[in-house]
Amino acid sequence: MIDSLEHACERWTALSLKAPVRVLVVSIARQLLGFYRDGVLVKSYVVSTSLRPPSNLRDSLGTPRGLHEIAEKIGAGLPPGIVFKARVNTGQHYFEFNEQEQQANLITTRILWLRGLEPGHNAGGNVDSHGRYIYIHGTNHEERLGTPFSGGCIEMNNLEIIGLFDQVRTGDLVWLED
């Protein structure tokens, strides 16, 4: 994933952004998320990205590519497996939902809401990642991690998203690539 970090570095330099302390790099092809601090890989996580091909277009249900930042962090201190609807804590664990509701990809545990930083590519108009509600979040389908399955978001193990959530800050950069 070091090559991916180098691509991210090229992009933030081109956008005149200051080199960040913390960077998340998501490889859609490998279904992995790497957490870097000061250019050193701290931890790698198995994730699930979109079932559909990568895409930055609204309504595509594809995971967007390019440079993003963590715009908002939602869910601090809540128990693992808690479900969010429209970014609001439902007060229910995913096991408390009926069987049909559990078939869906529920947003659980923590949310890292992403904002695209590249106008016309993942920011603004019909390619706006923030407006598409693209998150890194926990999932009720941990058994599917490592294979594309989401509706565009990056899904993680519930305990691992807690650990990552506690280490990142709003404004940290996120690089999403094929």
C-beta separation of 173 from 68 below 8 A: yes
- CB count, 10 Å around CB of 130? 17
For 12-49, what is each residue's pLDDT tens digit?
788 777 778 899 999 999 999 999 999 899 999 999 99
For the whole model, what pTM was predicted? Answer: 0.94
Question: What's the CA gap between 29 and 91, in Å, rounded?
Answer: 34
**Helices and strands in the chain, H and E counts:** 3, 10
C-beta separation of 116 from 123 below 8 A: yes
Residue 65's domain spans which residues? 2-177
CATH of residue 39: 2.40.440.10
- CB count, 10 Å around CB of 12? 18
Check residue 66 and give its pLDDT.
Answer: 96
Residue 163 parent element (H or E): helix 158-167
Domain total for the chain? 1
Number of C-alpha atoms within 13 angstroms, CB side, residue 96?
9
Beta bridge partners of 22: 37
What's the token pair of residue 76?
A: 């601090």
For 54-94, what is each residue's pLDDT tens digit?
999 999 999 999 999 999 999 999 999 999 999 999 999 99
For 120-175, what is each residue's pLDDT tens digit?
999 999 999 999 999 999 999 999 999 999 999 999 999 999 999 999 999 999 99
